[in-house]
Structures are given as structure tokens and as C-alpha cells.
């Protein structure tokens, strides 16, 4: 499961450079760092341009709406897609064949603890910097307005040893060398849990629980667990 995440870099151009992706200046002009991206929000995805190998970085809505769907009602039910069943599920098998993407982030949240007292944890690359999450995207046309919307889902896997005590699923984190096999070929062998030592977890503010809160104070640790900073763009997965 991945229900919230972050992208806190100062410049979206740095993300485009890290993924060797073209970026529309008009999209870049509206960028702001995000500390609490929630389902339904617009976020950035990297995909291959039509008919070529060049990558593009652009905006899409989080929550997949299939191109054949009569409405967008299932978007919030399709924020995540299980790696094990992508090829079997009607909602994902077409996108797996031809509409794969990478979701740039520098951390994601998971919650732990008993019901009523669950606490958010921010998980990020041990070496700092960006994480590349495997995703799928779709184009959906609103039958009433003719508006075309691009939406995406994040692929999840069973957890690694760090995440397992917190949650039974985690995003599929791609190593830098796995990005091209996923985008170009849909190689499902890259859809695996991150190495156990690739990420670190920090207990952060409960204000993350409300999607209305979106500011740097959300990431202030309640207890110091990692003194590492962001030292390079790609994290050590």
C-alpha cells in the first residue's frame, strides 16, 4: 500500500534531469514542493513519448481511471496495483502492455500501531534523494465534457524487512538500472521489494493524517532515527 508520498525537491527541472526526461516549461512554472501528496492530487510521472524512446515528465492524477470506464468513480480504489496480478486484472493488463510509467518521489508514508493510535512513518532512501516508483497510466475522456484526463497508479509488492513490521505492502522501488527495462519492455522482474538496507524510516508528525496539511513541518522527526541528508538525486535501491 502507498497512500501518501512526498516530492520536496526545490526545482522540478532537477527531477527531469535525473530521469533524462523532457519537461514542458508551462508545467514547470506551476511546480511547488509537496510534503503530503494524496489520492486525487496531480503529480508527476515519467513515461516514454509516443513512438519513441525519449522520456517525458508531466502531470497526471493519482488514481487510475481506465479508458473504457463510464465515469471516474473507481479512481480512489485504484491508487495502487498489486504487482503479482497486473497481467490478470482487467483494470491493469492493457496499461501493463503499453502504458507504463515511473513516479518520482523522495519518500512515502506508511502508518503503524493499533487502530485509533496509528502513527505515520516517512520512508526514504538511505542515501537520500529521489526514489523511482513503478507505475501505470491511462488516458480517460469524460463523456460529458470531452475533457481528456491522464491518471496513474503505483505498483506495489510484498514488503522488505524494514517495511514488514509496518505494512504488508510497499511500492515497487526501481533501481536506476531498472527504470529502462520497466518503461521500454514492461519487465516484471524489476517489480520487487527494495533491498532491506535501501530505505530508512522516521516517525513523523500526525498532521500527515490530514491531506489538508502540506508543509515542511510534517517531516520533522519525533525521534531521531537517521542523520543522513539528501546527498544525491538517486537513492540507494
Catalytically annotated residues: 2, 110
Nearest to 178 by CA among 163, 157, 151: 157
Nearest to 42 by CA among 22, 54, 56, 57: 57
User: What CA–CA distances, in Å, run from 163 to 32, 39, 110, 168?
Assistant: 28, 21, 8, 8
In terms of Cβ atoms closer than 10 Å to its own Cβ (0-12, 13-18, 19+), residue 145 is exposed
Place of cell 515528465: 57
Query: Do residues 153 and 85 lie in contact, with contact meaning Cβ atoms separated by under 8 Å?
Result: no
User: What CA–CA distances, in Å, run from 84 to 88, 147, 156, 198, 199?
Assistant: 9, 32, 9, 22, 22
Query: Do residues 175 and 195 lie in contact, with contact meaning Cβ atoms separated by under 8 Å?
Result: no
Q: State whether residue 181 is helix, strand or coil.
A: helix
Q: Which residues contact 27 (CB under 8 A, 6 or more apart)?
A: 12, 57, 58, 59
User: What CA–CA distances, in Å, run from 141 to 129, 136, 149, 183?
Assistant: 35, 17, 6, 24
Neighbours of 236 (CB within 10 A): 17
Amino acid at each position: 500500500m502507498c497512500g501518501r508520498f512526498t516530492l520536496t525537491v526545490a526545482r522540478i527541472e532537477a527531477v527531469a534531469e535525473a530521469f533524462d526526461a523532457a519537461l514542458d516549461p508551462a508545467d514547470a512554472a506551476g511546480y511547488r514542493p509537496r510534503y503530503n501528496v494524496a489520492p486525487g492530487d496531480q503529480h508527476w510521472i515519467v513515461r516514454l513519448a509516443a513512438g519513441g524512446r525519449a522520456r517525458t515528465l508531466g502531470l497526471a492524477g493519482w488514481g487510475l481511471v481506465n479508458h473504457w470506464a463510464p465515469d471516474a468513480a473507481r479512481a480512489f480504489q485504484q491508487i495502487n496495483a498489486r504487482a503479482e496480478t497486473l497481467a490478470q486484472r482487467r483494470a491493469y493488463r492493457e496499461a501493463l502492455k503499453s502504458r507504463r510509467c515511473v513516479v518520482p518521489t523522495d519518500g512515502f508514508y506508511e502508518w503503524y500501531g493499533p487502530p485509533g493510535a496509528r502513527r505515520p512513518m516517512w520512508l526514504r532512501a538511505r542515501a537520500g534523494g529521489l526514489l523511482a516508483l513503478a507505475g501505470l497510466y491511462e488516458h480517460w475522456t469524460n463523456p460529458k465534457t470531452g475533457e481528456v484526463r491522464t491518471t496513474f497508479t503505483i505498483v506495489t509488492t510484498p514488503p522488505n524487512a524494514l517495511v514488514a513490521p509496518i505494512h504488508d505492502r510497499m511500492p515497487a522501488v526501481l533501481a536506476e538500472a531498472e527504470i529502462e527495462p520497466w518503461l521500454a519492455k514492461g519487465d516484471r522482474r524489476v517489480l520487487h521489494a527494495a533491498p532491506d538496507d535501501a530505505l530508512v524510516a522516521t516517525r513523523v508528525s500526525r498532521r500527515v493524517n490530514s491531506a489538508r496539511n502540506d508543509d515542511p513541518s510534517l517531516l520533522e522527526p519525533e525521534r531521531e532515527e537517521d542523520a543522513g541528508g539528501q546527498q544525491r538525486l538517486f537513492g540507494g535501491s
